[in-house]
Chains A and B, each alone.
Chain A
Amino acid sequence: MKTLSRTHNATAGLRAPVLRRALPVGAAVAVYGLSYGVLAVTAGLSPLVATLSSVAILAGGSQFAFVGVLLGGGTPMAGAAAGLLLNLRFVPFGLAVARHLPASSLGRRAVDSYLVVDESVAIGLAGPPAHATRRFRVTGWTVTVAWIVSTGVGAYGGQLIGDPERFGLDAAFPAGFLALLAPWLRTRAGRVAAILGVLLALGLTPVTPPGVPIVASVLGAVLALRWLPAPPVDTAGEATT
């Protein structure tokens, strides 16, 4: 990238590799979306409301929590509260990705906010910081389309699919998050943060409402910083795939 034109070419040619990383993630998200669509209709949402809920909320974990509360006999507002608690993690996630985003118009930033999901932040931050914005946005849109379309398919056609657990779909979630976590596990600070995050989350699970353990796991990152004061210049940057 010595000259302007080569820089331009490099940027244009970047779309394909980023998409190659985002598409499998989108495929996995589509599988979750399918099971969410089925579950939401089972919980009493109309297929239309189930599909629109994925457009409006775009946060899979909290949507599962929401219909989970409904299925357990809870009120819709209790379900919304459980979902919001789970989504508290998007405050630190949004902050983590925001420093790589350009200073752009309010509208653009509102859209970027919508695209903040686990997958877009994880892939956005894992790799060279120069292309973080592109990785974040391409992954975000891929996940958005996959999530909404698959919810619709599950909601309208779902009774044909049957019980998602039979296909191990509940294990697909943690397996996918583990794959997203991999770049951090290859750095020492990342490993310490991950181990502390697990200990905090599991330790708090029996004594706090769902969602709180995930948010509290942020302390794992704080403690990891404390223990490893020698700064690797850019942790996420070095964790390139």
Chain B
Amino acid sequence: MIVVAVLVLAVGTWTMKAFGPMVSAGRELPPTLQRLTDLVPAAMLAALVATQTVVSDTGLGVDARVGGVAAAAVAVALRAPFAAVVVIGAGVAASLRALGWG
């Protein structure tokens, strides 16, 4: 049953990924739609950051992740490289947990 569910998830995921590359690769979209697709990652990545920072099984809430992501935000503002941002985010969250918070 688990294997069937994995296959369903795999085929469904590829189908959704394929929408763009299979249908519209190499075609010019109308300018407004082009600008929209350029902005889509901004809205969605921001939504992913927000939900992964404050959403847990019990709903919205503040825990050690908020401290980690806040530190990561400072690193991003200072133009730290990608790896440093991730390490700082994880490190600060882990430290806060070790101190008994969140």
Distance in angstroms between the alpha carbons of A240 and B36 in the assembled complex = 18
In the bound complex, do residue B51 and residue A93 qualify as a contact, i.e. CB atoms below 8 Å apart?
no
Query: Which residues of chain A from 49 to 89 have a CB within 8 Å of any chain B CB?
Result: 49, 52-53, 56-59, 61-63, 66, 70, 72, 75-77, 79-80, 83-84, 87-89
Query: Which residues of chain B from 57 to 84 have a CB within 8 Å of any chain A CB?
Result: 57, 59-60, 64-65, 67-69, 72-73, 75-76, 79, 81-83
In the bound complex, do residue A165 and residue B45 qualify as a contact, i.e. CB atoms below 8 Å apart?
no
In the bound complex, do residue B24 and residue A98 qualify as a contact, i.e. CB atoms below 8 Å apart?
yes
In the bound complex, do residue A176 and residue B2 qualify as a contact, i.e. CB atoms below 8 Å apart?
no
In the bound complex, do residue B20 and residue A95 qualify as a contact, i.e. CB atoms below 8 Å apart?
yes
Pick from B5, B8, B21, B46: contact of A94, CB below 8 A.
Answer: B21
In the bound complex, do residue B20 and residue A91 qualify as a contact, i.e. CB atoms below 8 Å apart?
yes
Could you say which residues of chain A place their CB within 8 Å of the CB of B38? 96, 125, 234-236
In the bound complex, do residue A168 and residue B10 qualify as a contact, i.e. CB atoms below 8 Å apart?
no
Q: Please classify the interface of chain B as helix (H, G, I), strand (E, B), loop, or mixed, using the class held by over half of its residues.
A: helix
Binary interface profile of B, 19-61, with partner A (CB < 8 Å = 1, else 0)?
A: 1111111111101101111111111111111111111010110
Contact count band on B: 35 or more
Could you say which residues of chain A place their CB within 8 Å of the CB of B32? 225
Could you say which residues of chain B place their CB within 8 Å of the CB of A113? 14, 17-18, 20-22
Quick check: is A156 within 8 A (CB to CB) of the other chain? no
Distance in angstroms between the alpha carbons of A176 and B86 in the assembled complex = 5
In the bound complex, do residue B25 and residue A224 qualify as a contact, i.e. CB atoms below 8 Å apart?
no
Distance in angstroms between the alpha carbons of A125 and B98 in the assembled complex = 38
Binds B, one of A6-14, A147-155, A189-197: A189-197
Binding site for B on A (CB under 8 A): 21, 24-25, 27-28, 31, 44-45, 49, 52-53, 56-59, 61-63, 66, 70, 72, 75-77, 79-80, 83-84, 87-99, 101-104, 106, 109-110, 112-114, 116, 118, 121-122, 125, 165-182, 184-185, 189-191, 193-198, 200-202, 205-206, 213-214, 217-222, 224-225, 231, 234-236
Q: A53-B10, A110-B21, A168-B94 are in contact. List 9 more A-B contacts (CB 8 A).
A: A28-B86, A103-B26, A174-B49, A181-B46, A193-B43, A214-B48, A220-B47, A221-B36, A225-B32
